[in-house]
Structure 1
Amino acid sequence: MRFNSSIFQIDATPRRADGEYMAHARISCNRDGEARQDIYVSGDLAGFDMREDAIRFATDWAMEWLERRYG
């Protein structure tokens, strides 16, 4: 799942490990038509049984991260 705005994108696609979906987030930006650049890649945030829970957790985490830094 990707959250898109005019500047920031959140990729919250979980990875599968040891029977769990590991939530993590890649935050990137695209400014002035330049190629997309990663500005932050989290480590594993938490493990979930359901893929959708991992996506929701990582997306919420990334949106809070962006709000604290660029609010």
Structure 2
Amino acid sequence: MKDYTDKIQSAQYAIDELSIPVVRITKEIGVIPLVGEIDTHRAQILMENALKQGNTYKLSWLIIDLSAVPIIDTM
């Protein structure tokens, strides 16, 4: 059961990482194209990944594209 739980958690982590990509446009500008609903869990991951990847790429600007997001949980 522990192996199964570990595999599920690992898969969820990979899905979370891939669902919030930072696409570098120029040396200082990046874009996060989001698709789908933004719930509390995904918003938390978005904030963590955006800051981490923005720092890694040394971005000055990070644009969040919400054009394909139908619902944002305001919590």
**What range describes the TM-score normalised by the shorter chain of this pair?**
0.3 to 0.5
Higher strand share: 1
Q: Which has the higher helix share?
A: 2
TM-score (normalised: structure 1): 0.33
Larger relative contact order (CA 8 Å, sep ≥ 6) = 2
Q: From the CA coordinates, give the structure whose radius of gyration is larger.
A: 2
